[in-house]
Amino acid sequence: MHTVPELVKLLGLATENQVRNRIEAVRNLLVATLRRGPNNQILVTADGLGILRDLQSLCETGHTLADAANILRYRHERTEKEITVASSAFASDEVKLAGHPETGWEETGWEALVGHLAAEVRELSQRVAGLEALVVRTTGQAGWWERWR
């Protein structure tokens, strides 16, 4: 079990407040790994330390704390879903899962959001390509932005 002052050193942070902010950012992932010690100290297990280290490594690569927390939540949901599907496949001979055509299970949470955003980016890319083609057809020359590509 690690206390907040120990976590400051283990994570390479400057203040206890930074540790507390990181704990709050991923509290839902740390619920099973958090304890209260004497004098109401926050204690984190080794598994919780691993989650906080993952969060810290994402922050060090340029992600904001909120973005890093969202990435960890997405990874956690994805891992849980894969484990659930794998365990249900062992439990029965036939697994009938409706929803997503590629994976066979229904999307929820972060996975649904990422899928929606990816579809929106594809649609916008097609619209931009169409508009660029229209500019070339009507003016006979490439757009002014083409020189930066």
- Tokens 């365990």 appear where? 87
What is the residue-level pLDDT of the chain in tens, covering all 149 positions? Answer: 999 999 999 999 999 999 999 999 988 888 889 999 888 899 999 999 999 999 999 889 888 898 888 888 888 887 776 666 665 555 544 344 344 445 444 555 667 778 888 888 999 999 988 888 888 888 877 766 676 76
Give the pLDDT confidence score for residue 73 in this predicted structure. 87
- Tokens 């060090």 appear where? 60
CATH class of 2-105: mainly alpha
| Amino acid letter, residue 128 | V
Name the DSSP class of 125: H
pTM of the entire predicted model:
0.57
Task: Give the end-to-end CA distance of the chain in Å, rounded to a whole number.
Answer: 53
pLDDT 10s digits, 58-69: 889 888 898 888
pLDDT 10s digits, 93-121: 434 434 444 544 455 566 777 888 888 89
For 110, 125, 127, 147, the CA distances from 135, given in Å and listed in that order, are: 37, 15, 13, 15
Give the pLDDT confidence score for residue 88 in this predicted structure. 56
Tell me the sheet residues that pair with 44: 2, 34
Give the pLDDT confidence score for residue 7 in this predicted structure. 92
Give the pLDDT confidence score for residue 100 in this predicted structure. 47
Q: How many other CB atoms are there within 10 angstroms of residue 56's CB atom?
A: 20
